[in-house]
Structure 1
């Protein structure tokens, strides 16, 4: 299994996968999804069944979580979203996507990878998965303007 660039051939399938996981991620339009990929430091997919989009501290984006982390850290890689089709969960797709990101980030001299995970509504499987990769919680949990509460996590690189 290898991580591939996100191309037009898989764009619709990955956008649908994103929106299937909208509670944990956020709903996007096709144009919004494409714009996220265009602005990404790292984006990739595995067989159209799992994808990741990540930014670094130089991204030309704005968003409640990204802005919050950018105010706290000068340099970072931030995982905006990762999703794996339910039928492919437990098969190593998420881990392989993260390993590809970590390899690139380390090569480029980044020292930390950041993400946020919903705690309300709860997402205990994501917390367990991220902890198994070496992520640890940072900051206090934070309520967002959309009513969700998130916990931020860091993985030292």
Structure 2
């Protein structure tokens, strides 16, 4: 099973929407207009393909983004700098096979030279223990809880330190080396 992680393309949006909206109760459904907005504004938006078929995606925003998610705004209120994973989704067929870890590893390689920590959240529903365990295994820890959608949903707010950030900043300052793997994966 060869996995390819690549930048999202406009022609992927229908497949991204289908993966998102069939992923189950722990993933909030998206409308096409909202997905288009995320496509247009995300700092980081990558997809995972296996044999040319899209099986997952991940969307991220830096702490300075003009992102309107209430969870993103919660992190902004509590932390000065972070890279926020707005959404990571793996389809039902592939879930549990390591694709989520691969997507997070790709996002971490992007974020670590730029931000001191990762931020994300988990809905506190019937699948929360499984999802919290997954994130805990990646190094995320709960830093708070909040309400979402007029407090009908509880959300566990998670952070993960990106340990190489300080060394990279001390070594290179704000001018990162001009090497392919570190360059912005997507022109916004």
TM-score, structure 1 as length reference: 0.91
Q: 1:8 to 1:26 in 2, by over 3 A?
A: same
SS of the residue corresponding to residue 93 of structure 2 reads: helix
The match for 1:78 among 74, 81, 84 is: 84
Structure 2: stretches of 5+ with no match in the other structure: 163-188
SS of the residue corresponding to residue 6 of structure 2 reads: coil
Aligned runs of 1:1-157 on 2, under 5 Å?
1-21=3-23, 23-47=25-49, 48-108=54-114, 110-139=115-144, 141-144=145-148, 145=150, 147-157=152-162
> Offset of 1:125 from its aligned partner?
1.6
Bigger Cα Rg: 2
Q: Deviations over 1:58-79 (max 9, x none)?
A: 2112121111111111111011
SS of the residue corresponding to residue 86 of structure 1 reads: coil
- Alignment check: 8 A CA contact 1:114 1:154 kept: yes
Moved over 6 A (4+): none
Structure 1 vs Structure 2 CA RMSD: 1.5
Q: Deviations over 1:30-73 (max 9, x none)?
A: 12102112211211011110101111112112121111111111
Structure 1: stretches of 5+ with no match in the other structure: none
Of 142-151 and 79-88, the range deviating more from structure 2: 142-151
CA distance in 1, matches of 2:118, 2:33: 26
Of 113-122 and 51-60, the range deviating more from structure 2: 113-122
Query: For this pair of structures, how many residues does the alignment match?
Result: 155
- Alignment check: 8 A CA contact 2:63 2:80 kept: yes
- Alignment check: 8 A CA contact 1:54 1:81 kept: yes
> Offset of 1:146 from its aligned partner?
5.3
Q: Deviations over 1:114-141 (max 9, x none)?
A: 11101135422211110111111112x2
Q: 1:90 to 1:22 in 2, by over 3 A?
A: closer
- Alignment check: 8 A CA contact 1:6 1:43 kept: yes
